[in-house]
Amino acid sequence: MSADPNKPEILVIDDERQIRRLLRLTLEDAGYAVREAATGQAGLDEVARQNPDAVILDLGLPDIPGVVVLKRLREGNVIPVLILSVFGQEDSKVAGLDAGADDYLTKPFGSAELLARLRALLRRIKPAVASNVFRFDEIEVDFMRRRVSKAGRPVKLTAMEYAILQLFITHRDKVLTHRQILRTLWGPKAELQTHYLRTYMLRLRRKLEDDLDTPKYFQTESGVGYRFVSESLIHSGSAGG
C-alpha cells in the first residue's frame, strides 16, 4: 500500500518491535505516514528507494552501528535525522551529533516531546524564500534545491547546517545572539545549550570557510553570538530557471 503523498513520510529505523509499534501509532495519530526498518542496512535501502521526509534512527542496531548508518545517510542527502539513545549514553549522543544528526531524543521518551522535535526538524528544512539563490565569493546557496557549492564543487550539509546557514543569510550583517539562534532552531528549552551551537558552527565553518582561525563569513561576537558577514553577497532568482 503506497503512502499518502500529502502526508510527511517518516522512516523509523529501530530493531525493537515495541518501539517501532509505539512510534508508528504516535506518528500516524499525528498525521504522518510511517515506514519501518529493523536493521541499519534495511533502513539505508529504504531511504534509497523512498527518500522519506525524515528519519528516526536508533543508535543500537544489530547489524551496523547507528553512527555508521548516519554517516552513510549523510553521504548523499540532507534528510533530517532524529537519533534515539538510551538514557545515560552521553558519548553516543555526542557521536551521533558529530556524525551529522540534527537532534536526539533519550529513551524512554514522551510522545509530545517526540512530535515537537519532529515538527521542528521538518520546519527547519523549508526554505525561507523558495526561489532564491545566494552567492558570496566562491559559494552558491540554492535553498529551493537545498544545494550548496564552493568553487563549483558540491558541499554536503546536514539539515541543521542548512537551517543555520539559512538563518544567517536571511539576517546577514546582524548579530544573532546565542539565545536567539538556539530558540529559533531548537526551541525555548534549548536556550542555554550553547554546546549545540558551538558544535554546528564549527562544522559549518569547516565546510565553508577558507581559514578556521580567522573566519571570514561566520564571525564570533565575543560573549554575545555570531554575525554573518559578506560584502559580496548577491541575491538572484533560482538557478537554471
Which is nearest to 193 in space by CA: 58, 85, 59, 103? Answer: 103
Q: What integer best gives the mean pLDDT of the chain?
A: 83
Q: Tell me, what's the pLDDT at 130?
A: 46
**Are 164 and 181 contacting, i.e. CB atoms less than 8 angstroms apart?**
yes
Domains of the chain: 9-124 (3.40.50.2300), 133-236 (1.10.10.10)
Per the listing, cell 516531546 goes with 113
Q: Which long-range contacts (CB under 8 A, 24 or more apart) does 189-196 make?
A: 196/97
Strand partners, 148: 141
Digit-by-digit pLDDT tens for the chain (241 residues) are: 445 556 889 999 999 999 999 999 999 999 999 999 999 999 999 988 887 889 999 988 999 988 889 888 876 566 888 988 775 566 766 777 777 788 888 888 889 989 988 988 887 665 444 457 888 899 999 877 778 999 999 998 887 888 899 889 888 888 888 888 888 877 767 777 788 788 889 999 999 999 988 999 999 988 888 999 887 778 765 544 4
**Are 60 and 73 contacting, i.e. CB atoms less than 8 angstroms apart?**
no
**Are 93 and 67 contacting, i.e. CB atoms less than 8 angstroms apart?**
no
Report the predicted TM-score, pTM, of the whole model to 2 decimal places: 0.58
Q: Residue 2: exposed, middle, or buried by beta-carbon count in 10 A (0-12, 13-18, 19+)?
A: exposed
Q: What is the pLDDT of residues 27-37, one digit of tens each?
A: 999 999 999 99
Buried-state track 44-79, b at ≥16 Cβ within 10 A, e below 16: bebbeeeebbbbbbbbebeebebbebbebbbeebbb
Q: Tell me, what's the pLDDT at 8?
A: 87
Q: Tell me, what's the pLDDT at 239?
A: 46
Q: Tell me if the bond preceding 188 is cis, omega within 30° of 0.
A: no
Residues in the chain: 241
Count of Cβ atoms closer than 10 Å to residue 114 Cβ: 19
Residues 6+ apart with CB under 8 A from 47: 11, 55, 73, 77, 79
